Structure 1
Amino acid sequence: MRGAKVETPNMFSYLSPEQRVPQDHPLRAIRVIVDRSLAELDSHFQGIYSAFGRPSIPPEHLLRALLLQVFYSIRSERQLMEQLNYNLLFRWFVGLDMDAAVWVPTVFTKNRDRLLDHGTVRMFFHSVLEQARTRDWLSDEHFSVDGTLLEAWASQKSFQPKDPEDRDGDGSDFRGQERSNDTHASVTDPDARLYKKSAGEASRLAYLGHVLMDNRHGLIAEEMVTTADGTAEVDAAVRMVDDLGGTQRITLGADKGYDCREFVQDLRDRKVTPHVARKRKGSAIDGRTTRHAGYAMSIHARRRIESIFGWMKTIGGLRKTRFQGLERVGLHFSLAATAYNILRISRLRVA
C-alpha cells in the first residue's frame, strides 16, 4: 500500500538529540574520552577565564567543535557553524540543545584563538595520552620518529627579497631568479621556508611536522612543528626524546634520513638505542645494533608512522595548513594529533 504524501511538517518534536544518535555510533565512544579529558582541564579553564564580564563560548563546546572540524574535514569555521545549525549529530557532540543559537563564525574564531593562546591544546593532548597510559596502551620503551612537509598558506609569488628596495612588482615574475631563504622571505607568512623533502621535487613554502610514535599501538607520544631546514628533523627528534623524560633505555626507529653520525651519537649519549634504517654507504649503524632481533622489529613497526601523516593530511586538513605563523600552525598540528589519538583510543576500547 502506498503511503500518504504528507508534506506539512510537524510543529514540535519530542525527541532530543541524545535519543536520535544511535547507541553504536562511533562518536559516542569518542565523546566519553573527550569528556573525561575536559573534566581534568576544568581547573585550567577556571584559571584562564575572568570571573567578571560577558560570558564567552564555553571552552568545552569550543574544543568539541574543533574536534568535529578535524574528524569531518570541515575546511572553515563558517562551514562548521553551518553544520552546527542543522546537524543534530554535531549539536549533540558539542553539547548544544535543539533551540540553542549557533555562534557567529568571527565570534567563534576569536574565542578559539583566546583559548588556544593559553597552552590548552597541549594540555588536552597530554590529558588524552594519559588515558592511554593508565590502560597500559602506551609503550614506554619502543618508539619511532619521522617528519613530514606541511605546505604553508602562502603562494610562491609572496616569496620576495627581504630588502623592500629589491622588490620588483608583485613578485609574480620570479622565474629565472635565484631565490633562497637567506635573501628572501614570504610577505604573507614570514615563518614559512622554501623547502623540498627530496631530490627531484619542486621547492615549496612549508613547515615540517614531526611525530614520535609509540610502537605498541601506533599512538602519538610527542609531536611538534618546526621551520623547514636541513637539520630540523634530527633536531626535533632529539627534542621529542628529551620531552619523553624517564631514565630507562628506549629504542627509536627512523628512516635512512636520520642515519648520520651526530644524531646516532646523540641518541646513544641519551641511553637511546638507534634503530635507524641503514644507508648503503657510510652508515653510522653497525653490527652491535643490527644483530639484535629488536632492530628488524623496529624497522618494520616504523612504517606505521606514515599512516599517521596520511590521516592528518587527508582527514585532518594538514596537507595545506589554513593558518599562518609557526605558533598557529603548531597548534593546528597538535589538535590534529590529539584527534588522531582520540580516534585510536576509541577503537582500542572497542577491540
Structure 2
Amino acid sequence: MRGRPKQQTTLFSLRTPGDRVPAAHPLRRVKDMADAALAALSPTFDAMYSDTGRPSIPPEQLLKSCLLMAFYSVRSERLFCEQLDYNLLFRWFLDMGMEDASFDHSTFSQNRDRLLEHDVARRFFLAVMSQAQSAGLTSSEHFSVDGSLIEAWASLKSFRPKDEKKEPPDDKGNPTVNFHGQKRGNATHASTTDPEATLARKGNGKEARLAYSLNGVMENRNGLLVDLAVMPANGFAERDAAVMMLEGLKSRNARASVGADKGYDTADFVADCRRMGVTPHIAQTTDTRRRSAIDRRTTRPAGYALSQRIRKRIEEVWGWMKTVGGFRKTRFKGRERTELAAYLVGAAYNLVRMARLVAA
C-alpha cells in the first residue's frame, strides 16, 4: 500500500541525537578518544575562565567543533554553525541535545586569544599522542621529517614596499596594483594584510606565493604525526624546525634515526643530528655544485633504505590536512593563529588514523 506523508508532526520525541548515529559509526571511536584527551585538559580549562560571571560555551565543544570542521571539510566557522542547527551527527559529537541552541560563529574568534594564551591546541595535540603511545601505536626510535607550504590569508596585491607612502586606493574593494617588471623580495617588501607571511615557492619554475612553512615529525611505525611547528617560510625553516622538534623526540634508550628528503642534506643539519645521537637517514643530493653530507657509513646499513621508503608516507599526512582538513590555505592572519589551526587539524588526522588502527 502506498504510504502518505503525515500532515501533523509528533509533539514529543523520546529519541536523542545519539540514537540516530549507527552503533558501528567510526566517529564513535574518535569521540571516545577525543573526550579522553579533553578530560586530561580539564585543569587547564579551569584556569582559563573566571569563577564568576555568565557561563561560557564549554571549551570542549569549541575544540571538538574544530575537529568536525576538519573531518567533514567544512570551509568556515559560519557554515559550521549553520549546519549545527540541523545536523544530528554534529550535535551528538558535541554532546548537545535536540533543544540546545547552536552557538554563534563569533564565539570562535572571541575564545581564540584565550586558547592561544594557555597553549590549549598544542596541549590537546600532545594529549592525543599520549593515548597513541599508551596503546603502543608509535615508535620511539624511528622518525621522518618534512615540510610543506601553507598559503597565507593574503594576496600578492598586499605585498608592498616597506618604505612605501600610503596613498588612498582607487578602489577600496579591489585596488589596481601593477608590479610587472618590479623586483620584489622579503627584504624590501611585506604584506599589509599579514606582515608575518613571506614570499616563497616550492621549487625552481614554481610560482611564488605568500605562505608559511608547516613542518612535522612522523613516527615510522604507523605514520602518526608526533609533532609539528609553523615557521616563517625563509628557506631555513624546515631544517631549523626539524632540529627543534627532534631535540624533544629522540629516544634516550636507543639510537634514533630520522628520514628526510635531499633538502635536509646539509652539513649543519647532519652535524646537529649526530650531536643529538640521531642517525640522519637523509636522501643524498644530486646537485653537482656541492657534495653530499651523507657518507657510506650511513647509507650502507639496510635501515637506511627502509627509512627512505617509509619517510615518503609523511606526504600522506600533508595530503589529508590540505584536502580533507581544508588546510591548504590558512583562514587566519599571523603565525600563532595559523599554528593553532595546524595543531587542531593535525590532531584530527591522528584521531582518524588511530581509530582505524584500534579497530584493526
TM-score range with shorter-chain normalisation? over 0.9
Q: Aligned partner of 1:296: which letter?
A: A
Match of 2:162 in 1: 162
8 Å contact from structure 1 (residues 160, 167) kept in 2: no
The corresponding residue for 2:235 is 230
Matched, 1:306 2:315: yes
Deviation digits for residues 188-208 of structure 1, max 9, x if unmatched?
Answer: 000000011100001100001
| C-alpha separation in 1, matches of 2:122 and 2:344 | 8
Indicate the residue corresponding to 2:33 in structure 1: 33
CA distance in 2, matches of 1:151, 1:227: 11
| Residues 57 and 111 in structure 1, CA contact (< 8 A), matched pair in contact too | no
Q: Determine if contact 2:77/2:105 at 8 Å carries over to the other structure.
A: yes
Structure 2: tracts of 5 or more residues without a match:
170-174
Which residue number corresponds to residue 343 of structure 2? 334
Paired position in structure 1 for 2:181: 176
> C-alpha separation between the residues in 2 aligned to 1:16 and 1:175?
60
Q: Is the 8 A contact 2:154 2:193 kept in 1?
A: yes
Question: 3-state DSSP class of the match of 2:230?
Answer: strand
RMSD of aligned alpha carbons: 1.5
* 1:186 counterpart residue number: 191
Which range moves more in the overlay, 324-333 or 10-19? 10-19
Q: Which moved more, 1:280-289 or 1:294-303?
A: 280-289
2:274 is the counterpart of 1:265: no
Q: Which residue in the other structure is 2:260 paired with?
A: 254
Distance 1:303-1:278 versus aligned 2 partners, 3 A rule? same
CA displacement at 1:149 relative to structure 2 = 0.6
Partners of 1:191 and 1:261 lie apart in 2 by 29
Please state how far the C-alpha of 1:102 moved relative to its aligned partner: 0.9
1:41-120 pair list within 5 angstroms? 41-120=41-120
Aligned to 1:345: 354
CA distance in 2, matches of 1:272, 1:107: 44
Distance 1:245 1:297, change over 3 A: closer
Asked if 2 retains the 8 angstrom alpha-carbon contact of 1:17 and 1:88, the reply is yes
Q: Is the 1:161–1:167 contact (alpha carbons within 8 Å) kept by the matching residues of 2?
A: no
Amino acid aligned to 1:224:
A
Alpha-carbon offset, residue 123 of structure 1: 0.5
Contact 1:275 1:289 in 2 (8 A): yes
| Alpha-carbon distance between aligned partners in 1 of 2:145 and 2:246, rounded to the nearest angstrom | 9
Aligned length: 351
Contact map agreement 2:145 2:217 (CA 8 A) in 1: yes
Question: What's the CA shift string for 1:102-160, capped at 9, x where partnerless?
Answer: 11211343134423431001100111000011111110000000000100010001000
Q: Does the C-alpha gap of structure 1 residues 245 and 271 become closer, same or farther in structure 2, counting only changes over 3 Å?
A: closer
Percent of aligned positions with the same letter in both sequences? 51
CA separation in 2, counterparts of 1:64 and 1:32? 12
Q: How does 1:112-131 map to 2 (within 5 A)?
A: 112-131=112-131
Equivalent pair of 1:153/1:322 in contact (CA under 8 Å) = yes
| Structure 2 counterpart of 1:276 | 282
Shift in CA distance, 346/35, structure 1 to aligned 2, threshold 3 Å: same
Q: Does 1:132 align with 2:138?
A: no
Matched, 1:316 2:325: yes
Contact 2:321 2:327 (8 Å CA) reproduced? yes
Partner deviation per Cα, 1:180-236 (whole Å, 9 max, x = no partner): 100000000000000111000011000010010000000011100000011111111
